Structure 1
Amino acid sequence: MKPTDELTGMLVLVHPELTQDPANNQGKIGIITGAELEQDDVYVSFGKGEQALYSTDALLVFKPEKDLYTTIMTDAREAGPEVFKTLFQINLMQQHGTTSVMKKAMEMVADNKILRDLSMDTLENRLANQLQQQQDQSFSR
């Protein structure tokens, strides 16, 4: 399966601090409907026929479950009990993985920079990490 196929249907948060967004969707949650990664083009739908084009560094996704759990156990404790509790709740929500549950989780962090920084990463970084992991696995065989 191509990476672009794997992205279709993925929930993303348009970075709330995005300075230039002609569609004016900063902080909104959408679903990836297609991607041309060679051009760094990701098509995101926001429902009701509204679609916009973004680069991978403008879209935020949750860290993988195990990475978020590590963050919770190391960095979140210093951020305070409310942050710790919310991140732990999000990590549990990831285990259900349904779109509606994950949308609710994104809504919980969308307006809180500390929670966003601890629980999310850019799609660009996520794809780079996945590529690195695939290369590491190829070399270890």
Structure 2
Amino acid sequence: MENATLAGTLVLVQPDLENDTGRNKGQIGVLTYARSETENYVRFPEGGEAYYPAPQVLMLKDKKQVFDDLTNNGSSMPLDDFKAMYKIMLLQDRGTSQALYAALALANDHPGVQERVLESISPAQKQELSKAYSR
């Protein structure tokens, strides 16, 4: 059960998803089960659950990555994107579920920072990472 490391992660369904059978694009939910690259279950606060391929389920990048990107590239960003990214970094620093939810909502509202602060989940990658740490 190596994929348990992703269970409980707050995630965002890709906002520009074209074929969304669950009609949850741009919605924030909790990853309940990361089964494979093609089947990852997300439960939504307003009820319901849907499954998506890993590239369509986005999570926040590590706050250190966000900070480094902000430090190195902040001066060349539009001001609104810089502010949004800075707020996301501060919310990540809090680490509470409410703050992480707010950070995902902020990323959803600012398409210019999505590539900088979001990454798709990859159960295989996380699985390999957890194996490496357990040795």
Where structure 2 has 5 or more consecutive residues not aligned to the other structure, the ranges are: none
Q: What do the CA deviations read for 1:13-71 (whole angstroms, capped 9, x no partner)?
A: 0001111110011100000111212x631110013440000111001111101111111
Runs of 4+ in 1 over 6 A off after TM superposition: none
Residue 104 to residue 127, structure 1, CA distance change in 2 (3 Å): farther
Counterpart contact for 2:31–2:42, Cα < 8 Å: yes
| Secondary structure, counterpart of 1:33 in structure 2 | strand
* Identity rate, percent: 27
1:98 corresponds in structure 2 to: 96
In 2, Cα distance between the equivalents of 1:131 and 1:76?
32
In 2, Cα distance between the equivalents of 1:44 and 1:132?
22
Using structure 2 for the length normalisation, give the TM-score.
0.85
Is 1:21 matched with 2:40?
no
Counterpart contact for 2:12–2:59, Cα < 8 Å: yes
1:78 to 76, 79, 98: 76
Where structure 1 has 5 or more consecutive residues not aligned to the other structure, the ranges are: none
Using structure 1 for the length normalisation, give the TM-score.
0.82
| Secondary structure, counterpart of 1:110 in structure 2 | helix
Aligned length: 135
2:125 to 120, 125, 128: 128
Is 1:5 matched with 2:7?
no
The residue identity in structure 1 corresponding to 2:41 is Y
Is 1:67 matched with 2:65?
yes
Counterpart contact for 1:30–1:46, Cα < 8 Å: yes
2:105 corresponds in structure 1 to: 107
Aligned CA-pair RMSD: 2.5
The residue identity in structure 1 corresponding to 2:113 is L
Q: CA deviation at 1:104?
A: 0.8
Q: What do the CA deviations read for 1:68-118 (whole angstroms, capped 9, x no partner)?
A: 111111223211222222212211211211111111111112032112122
